[in-house]
Amino acid sequence: MDQFFKLKANGTTVSREIMAGLTTFFAMSYILFVNPAMLSQTGMKYQAVFLATIIASVIGTLIMGLFANVPYAQAPGMGLNAFFTFTVVFGLGYSWQEALAMVFICGLINVLITVTKIRKMIIKAIPESLQHAIGGGIGVFIAYIGIKSAGLLNFTIDPGTYKVIGTGADKGKATIEASSSAVPALVNFNSPAVLVALLGLVITAVLVIRNVKGAILISIIATTVLAILFGVVDLSTIDFKANSLSSAFNDLGQTFGAAFSHKGMGSLFSDPEKIPQVLMTILAFSLSDTFDTIGTFIGTGRRSGIFSEADEKALENGSGFSSKMDKALFADATATSIGAIFGTSNTTTYVESAAGIGAGGRTGLTSVVTAICFLLSSVLLPFISIVPSAATAPVLIIVGVMMLGSFKEIDWTNLEDAIPAFFASIFMGFAYSISYGIAAGFIFFSIIKVVKGKGKEVSPIIWVVDVLFILNFIILAVI
C-alpha cells in the first residue's frame, strides 16, 4: 500500500489517510440527500437519482484516487444540479433526458480539452497573483458554506422581491429565488442546532490549535454526540429499514442510459432553431464544471503541497499524463459523462475535499476511503443521516480559515493586483460560485491590464476565457 500510494514520500500514514477519507465523506455526504431531492423535481425517480449519485461518486472518486493518487473526491456538483433543474428543465423547457444528454456531451468536451491540454494551458495562463487569490477565495467559499450549514445566518426578503420556482410549492418544498434585497443577519442563539454548531466550532478550533491527532474527525464525532444529546438528532425517528436497495436498482432502470434514448440524444438536436441554444447550454455546463475543478485544484493543491513544484514543472513541460495534475484533471473530466450515463447531473471535484486535506490527507488512499464510504452508504444511509450538518459545518469553517494564508502573497496595496484578486476571491464567496468568481477575476484582470497599457501581459487563453464567460452571462440573461 505504501508503495502504490507513496505514503512515506508524501509524509502521511495509513491511519491519517483513513481519517481524512472519512472526514471528506461526512463533509460532503449531504449530496446523498440534496441531489435526489433536487433532480427528482424534474420527474426523475428519487431512488434512481439516489443510486446514480452513489455510483457516480464511487467511480469518479476511485479514478481520482487510483489513477491520479490525489486526495480529492467527486460527486454531482451543487449549483450544477440547480442549473440542470431550474434553468435547463424548468426555464428552457428541455426534458430531463435531454438535460442528461447535454451533461454527457459536456463530459466529452471536458475529456477533449483535457487530453488536448487546453485545461493545462488555462492553468498555466493564470497569473500567480490570481492563483493565490483563488486559493484564499476557496477558503472564503468553504467557510461561507460552513457558516450557512451551521444555521448562523437568516435572510430577510422584502415582499414582491422573490419568486417560487420548481414543484412542491403547496408542500413547502419549492425553491425560492430572491433578489439582492435579501438581507443576511446573525440568528438569535435560541436554536438547539445552532448551539450545537457553535459548540462544535469551539471543539474543532481547540483540537486543531492543540494539534490533536485526528482533530477534525474527532470533532465531527463529538459534535454528533452533542446533537443527539440536544435533541437535534432524534434517533427514534430514523427509519433503519428505509431505502430498499432492490427498489432503488429497479428505479435506476428509468435513468440508466436515458441520455441516449429517443427522448434524450434522439430529440436534443431535432429542432434546428434550438441548436444554438443547446450548444450554449452545454457551454454553460462545461465552463462551470471546468473552472470549479481548476479553482479547487489551485486553491487546495499548492498550499498543501499535494501538487508539488516538481508536479508543476511536469505539468508545464511533460507530455501525456506525466504529472498528478494531468491525471487529476482527466479523472475529473471522465466522471461527468459516467454520471450522466447512470442518471445524474455533472459529477465534479468537491471543494469539501479540503476538509480531508485539512485532516492530513495527501494521497489517493484518502479518495479510496471516501469512495468506500459512498459505496457503503447505499445500505447504511440511516446511520449516515445521524451526522447532522451542525457537526460538519464547524469543520468547513476551520478548514476555510486554514486556507486564507494564500492572501498574504497578494499585494493588497496595489489596486492593479487587488481588484482582480478581490473578485477572484471574496466575490467568489458572495456569488457562491467558484467558476463565477474566477470569471470576474479574469475579466477585471484583463480590463486593468489594458487600461494600464499592459494588454500584452494578458495571455490569449485568458482573453478566450473572458469572451466565453461574457457570452455565457449574456445568454443566461436573455433566457
- Pairing assessment for the beta strands 347-349 and 162-165 based on DSSP bridges: unpaired
Cα-based angle 243, 245, 249 (whole degrees, multiple of 5):
120
pLDDT digit string, tens, across residues 103-140? 999 999 999 998 888 888 898 899 989 999 999 998 89
Other beta carbons less than 10 A from residue 118's beta carbon: 16
Are residues 26 and 95 both part of a single domain? yes
Share of the chain above pLDDT 90, in %: 64
- Is 278 a member of any domain? yes
- Is 473 a member of any domain? yes
Share of the chain above pLDDT 70, in %: 94
Domain limits at 415? 408-478
Is it the case that residue 75 has pLDDT exceeding 70? yes
Q: Which long-range contacts (CB under 8 A, 24 or more apart) does 235-244 make?
A: 235/386, 238/382, 238/385, 238/386, 239/382, 240/382, 240/383, 242/381, 242/382, 243/47, 243/50, 243/378, 243/381, 243/382
Which of the listed residues 407, 439, 467 is the one where a domain comes to its end? Answer: 407
Are residues 113 and 203 both part of a single domain? yes
Is it the case that residue 234 has pLDDT exceeding 60? yes
- Is 164 a member of any domain? no
pLDDT digit string, tens, across residues 262-293? 999 999 999 988 898 999 899 989 999 999 99
Are residues 420 and 392 both part of a single domain? no
For residues 80-101, give the mean pLDDT.
Answer: 93
What is the widest separation between alpha-carbon atoms in the chain? 67
Between the alpha carbon of residue 4 and those of residues 54, 65, 338, the distances in Å are: 25, 11, 25
Are residues 315 and 457 both part of a single domain? no
Question: Could you give the number of structural domains in the chain?
Answer: 2
DSSP string, 186-238: EPPS--HHHHHHHHHHHHHHHHHHTT-TTHHHHHHHHHHHHHHHTTSS-GGG-
C-alpha cell at 245: 436497495
Are residues 262 and 394 both part of a single domain? yes
- Is 169 a member of any domain? no
Which of the listed residues 390, 407, 424 is the one where a domain comes to its end? Answer: 407
pLDDT of the residue at 241 = 60
- Is 194 a member of any domain? yes
pLDDT of the residue at 48 = 93
- Strand ranges inside 306-395, DSSP E: 347-349
Q: Please enumerate in sequence order all residues whose Cβ is within 8 A of that of 5, keeping only pairs 6 or more positions apart, or say none.
A: 17, 69, 363, 364, 365
Is it the case that residue 239 has pLDDT exceeding 70? no
Task: Tell me the H-state helices in 40-166.
Answer: 46-63, 80-82, 96-115, 118-125, 128-149
Q: How far apart are CA 108 and CA 104, in angstroms?
A: 6
Q: Please enumerate in sequence order all residues whose Cβ is within 8 A of that of 164, keeping only pairs 6 or more positions apart, or say none.
A: 174, 175, 176, 177
Other beta carbons less than 10 A from residue 383's beta carbon: 12
Residue 176 has phi, psi (to 5 degrees) of -105, 125
Q: Are 98 and 268 in contact (CB under 8 A)?
A: yes
pLDDT digit string, tens, across residues 380-436? 777 777 889 999 999 999 988 988 988 999 999 999 999 999 999 999 988 888 899
Are residues 390 and 451 both part of a single domain? no
- Is 170 a member of any domain? no
Are residues 415 and 297 both part of a single domain? no
For residues 338-355, give the mean pLDDT.
Answer: 95
Are residues 388 and 437 both part of a single domain? no
Are residues 343 and 422 both part of a single domain? no
Is it the case that residue 242 has pLDDT exceeding 60? no
Are residues 338 and 458 both part of a single domain? no
Is it the case that residue 350 has pLDDT exceeding 70? yes
Which of the listed residues 407, 426, 449 is the one where a domain comes to its end? Answer: 407
pLDDT band of 245, cuts 50, 70, 90 = confident
Q: Please enumerate in sequence order all residues whose Cβ is within 8 A of that of 206, keeping only pairs 6 or more positions apart, or say none.
A: none
Are residues 80 and 198 both part of a single domain? yes
Is it the case that residue 65 has pLDDT exceeding 80? yes
Is it the case that residue 312 has pLDDT exceeding 90? no
Is it the case that residue 311 has pLDDT exceeding 90? no
- Candidates 432, 467, 448, 476; CA nearest to 137 is 432
- Is 466 a member of any domain? yes
Q: How far apart are CA 153 and CA 161, in angstroms?
A: 19
- Is 181 a member of any domain? no
Position with higher pLDDT, 70 vs 165: 70
pLDDT band of 248, cuts 50, 70, 90 = confident
- Structure pTM? 0.84
Is it the case that residue 361 has pLDDT exceeding 90? yes
pLDDT of the residue at 316 = 66
Task: Give the side-chain half-sphere CA count within 13 A for 276.
Answer: 5
Are residues 337 and 426 both part of a single domain? no
Q: How many helices (H) and strands (E) does the chain have?
A: 21, 6
pLDDT of the residue at 247 = 76
pLDDT digit string, tens, across residues 155-177? 998 888 888 876 655 555 667 88
pLDDT band of 349, cuts 50, 70, 90 = very high
